[in-house]
Amino acid sequence: MKEMMWASLEDLALPVKALFTGYLLVVGLGLLMAGGQILLTHGMADGKLGLSMDDLVYSYYGNRGGSKLEAKLNGSMKDYAPGEARLVLIKWARAGAPEGEWEAKIKPITDRNCIVCHANMPGLANVGVKDDMLKVAATDNGATINTLTRVSHIHLFGIAFIFFFIGLIFSFATGFNPIVKALLIFTPFMFLIIDIAAWWLTKMHPGFAWLVMVGGFGYSLASTVMIFSSLYQMCIKPFRTKKAGSS
């Protein structure tokens, strides 16, 4: 009886349907863009397109046999550094990033190829500044505690809001067992917690990288089911029902 007291997506007023539909379309597109961004950042950590366990290990635990500079030059930044300049930077990092070579050998390369973006885009290390470049050229220990803390709280607050409104809209859906509906609504929040926890666990031990994949896949799948089910019941089902009733 309590389930029947809650309005259905099919019977909502047209302005409310327009609001919900617009939100779901924009959020769905945003989730697709987020997936693309992950492929172009974390997905290139091992130098190959496509998200793998190695990518996740390099992103959070680090490639402790080399530097972040080398990993980036062989990965997502490969197309932005000419071959010869790239080799010079990698050799410099492997030699321990000697500061005596900075002014004459390394800074001209970063000034010519890197600082257009790195000096102007927030979130990127300014590799035109010696101290910042030395940090990037040091042994890659993965994401720092400061970075993990900052990104974790942003994701927990920001993405939770997205899942809240997706779940709120889906709560108007019909044709689902109440337990199944409740589990679908709760699932993204649970997997978001797993995903964030997995970042920290992978930072401590690379064996937890698979949990990052599980977390991201879990909340993406549950959100996709809720988005498509809600859009179907608001935009397609009423017309099919009307067509069936008139025939």
pLDDT at 2 over 50: no
At 17 the three-state DSSP class reads helix
Given the structure tokens 């190695």, which residue do they identify? 54
pTM for this entry: 0.71
- Spatial distance between the Cα atoms of 6 and 87, rounded to a whole number of angstroms: 64
Exposure string over 139-167, b if 16+ CB within 10 A, otherwise e: ebebbeeeebeeeeeeeeeebeebbeebb
Identify whether the C-beta of residue 132 lies closer than 8 Å to the C-beta of residue 125. Answer: yes
Question: pLDDT tens across 174-221, in order?
Answer: 999 999 999 999 999 999 999 999 999 999 999 999 999 999 999 999
Helix (H) or strand (E) holding 44: none
pLDDT in tens, 121-178: 776 788 888 888 888 887 777 888 999 999 999 999 999 999 999 999 999 999 999 9
State yes or no: pLDDT of 65 exceeds 70.
no
